[in-house]
Chains A and B, each alone.
Chain A
Amino acid sequence: MALLDKFAALAAQYGKLETAGANPFNVAFDEVLSPVEARIGGRSILLLGTNNYLGLTYDPAVIDAAVQATQHLGTGTTGSRIANGSYAGHRKLEQALADFYGRRHAMVFSTGYQANLGILSALAGKTDYLILDADSHASIYDGSHLGSAQIIRFRHNDPDDLDKRLGRLAGTPGDKIVVVEGIYSMLGDSAPLRDFAQVKRAHGAYLLVDEAHSLGVLGETGRGLTEAAGVEVDADFIVGTFSKSLGGVGGFCVSDMPGFDILRVVSRPYMFTASLPPSIIAAATEALHQIRLRPQLRHQLIHNAERFYAGLSALGFELGPEPSPVVSSIMPDPQTAFAFWSNLLEAGLYTNVSLPPATPRSLALLRSSVSAAHSTAQIDLALDIFATVGRQMGLIPAARRAAQA
């Protein structure tokens, strides 16, 4: 038996899906032209699956900051901050994040994935409990498993269920840390955070909110769902990423927790990996500055998201429960999701496919993400392509939209 034979069943499954069309997990762009446009072969493609929520990847000020930093400070740090030292930029970005959130402490990690690994594995010890929303991102599960705490799941977005599970632990020694997300990346739904905060307070638990998809998207100043829900005092830790609305790569955690900085010599995913290069740090710092400077980006994003969600809904697609920059259409099965994705790409529109076990309730999803950089005409073009391809495949009723117009 060959080493990789253990994946034979999975390989066969993917082989079968590929016969339905191109494989979404293998797509390569020949050229990316802007936050919302790319080229594959001779075809220009409208991008609707990038998580580039504010379109900052081509922002001139962000690019300039990255270029300057590379020219002055070089291409890489060639080591971890613990072993090889921090650059001034790392400190400056941490100060900027702490200032943005109005928190005492901030810690930067090399990816958002590693921020969850680094924080969750370090916060919860052997006798503590991590209480996770069942639909948590893989990085939350992996970070929890990296530590030695007990892990318990509660039903997705269900404060009563969290209450019940914390209730069962009453009197059990150890700290309880509840982990939820701002906007969930698969269906675009957001957590009932006010209710969670109340449950957390009632049980004396801690609360960590992963704002990966909600930073720069929700809240009066873009601080995320905790700001929008008015429960920032209850969120003991906020984790986020630079890879979505900030258009770069990297992750962070902010907190007011006394003694927070000890995590720098405890958290292995912080200590044992190279720190981010100067260009990435400078770009993230400038992108954060742009978020603060230009709230209109967020308003444009929300406008686009609502327009796209309403449009798909009117066409008859079955969507996630609420409009958000993540708009997912629920497909009957993975085969159909692959075929639909393929046909959309053929028609010039790039989206994403999400399959179980990464999705809740074993759903097959055709996932889109909207950007502030999309023009209204581009949102409408995307809707037209969904309509045409969706009708051709019999996924939605014929010409329902025309009847409404």
Chain B
Amino acid sequence: MNTSVTDIHETVFGMLRAKLEKPIALTDDTHIVNELGLDSVAVMDFVMEIEDRLDISVPLDRIAEVETLGDLVATVRALKGVQ
């Protein structure tokens, strides 16, 4: 299971790339709603896939705080106990 700092970053970005219909350059600053065009439910569904991959649960208020991909990776790392 991927649990190091860089592994979590790779995992999240890799899963997102596989999911997006057209290739978009992804960085830590990419805004999830504005730039990726995911609606609120699609974001929650994507987080659910991350939860399964990394065996964590991300409460919805933590998802609400996430705006960029960097925020998402940081949240997942914190929940996984990897800083």
Contacts and interface: CB of A to CB of B under 8 A. Distances in A.
Interface of A: 134, 144-145, 150-153, 155, 165, 168-169, 356-357, 362
B61 A150 contact: yes
A356 B57 contact: no
B42 A153 contact: no
B82 interface: no
B59 A357 contact: no
Contacts, number: 34
B59 A150 contact: yes
A356 B42 CA distance: 9
Interface of B: 39-42, 44-45, 48, 55-61
A355 to B, nearest CB: 10
Contact of B44 (A150, A153, A168, A356): A153
Main secondary structure of the interface of B (DSSP, over half): helix
Given A150-B59, A152-B60, A362-B39, 5 more contacts: A155-B48, A168-B56, A356-B39, A356-B42, A357-B42
A168 B55 contact: yes
B48 A362 contact: no
B44 to A, nearest CB: 6
Given A356-B39, A362-B42, A168 B48 contact: no
B45 A134 contact: yes
A145 B61 CA distance: 8
A153 B39 CA distance: 16
B60 A151 contact: yes
Contacts of A145: 60
B37 to A, nearest CB: 10
